[in-house]
């Protein structure tokens, strides 16, 4: 098993299933894919969440985080599906009351 490092989630796009981790030791931010996250159920990371991980170099020579866990090796907390992402206004989410375009129904121009 490779060396375990620590860091903080810089951002994570749950719709696309990836984000970036800032290593505590400094250096470049590391790509992380949801398939490498240890979680109970929904795999995501919350912005600012502390994590532990290993680093591998992919086929293109890029370093990325793998085997991502909470500090101590447990599952991450992450965000649940449908929770607002960074900068995501509650009124713009599909799950907001009245849908994405408010209560007019039918779309951006009403019905």
User: Do 22 and 40 share a domain, yes or no?
Assistant: yes
User: Do 14 and 68 share a domain, yes or no?
Assistant: yes
User: Do 54 and 97 share a domain, yes or no?
Assistant: no
Number of domains in the chain: 2
User: Do 68 and 21 share a domain, yes or no?
Assistant: yes
Q: Return the pLDDT at 42.
A: 86
Q: Return the pLDDT at 10.
A: 97
- pLDDT tens by residue, the chain, 111 residues: 578 999 999 999 989 999 999 999 999 999 999 999 999 888 999 999 999 999 999 999 999 999 999 999 999 998 765 555 554 434 334 444 444 455 455 555 554
Q: What is the pLDDT of residues 29-57, one digit of tens each?
A: 999 999 999 998 889 999 999 999 999 99
User: Do 17 and 57 share a domain, yes or no?
Assistant: yes
Q: What is the DSSP string of the chain?
A: -PPPEEEEEEEEETTTTEEEEEETT-SS-EEEEGGGB-BSSS----TT-EEEEEEEE-TTS-EEEEEEESTTS--B----TTSPPTT--GGGSTTSTT-TTGGG-SSTT--
CATH at 28: 2.40.50.140
Predicted TM-score (pTM) of the model is: 0.71
User: Do 46 and 94 share a domain, yes or no?
Assistant: no
User: Do 71 and 103 share a domain, yes or no?
Assistant: no
For residue 109, give its domain range.
84-111
């Amino acid at each position: 098993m490779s060396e375990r490092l620590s860091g903080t989630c810089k951002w994570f796009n749950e719709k696309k299933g990836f984000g970036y981790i800032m290593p505590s030791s400094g250096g470049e931010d590391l790509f992380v894919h949801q398939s490498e996250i240890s979680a109970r159920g929904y795999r995501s990371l919350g912005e600012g969440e502390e994590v532990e991980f290993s680093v591998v170099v992919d086929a293109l020579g890029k370093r990325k985080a793998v085997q991502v866990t909470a500090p101590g090796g447990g599952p991450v907390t992450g965000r649940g599906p449908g929770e607002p992402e960074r900068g995501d206004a509650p009124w713009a989410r599909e799950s907001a009351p009245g849908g994405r375009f408010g209560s007019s129904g039918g779309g951006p121009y009403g019905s």
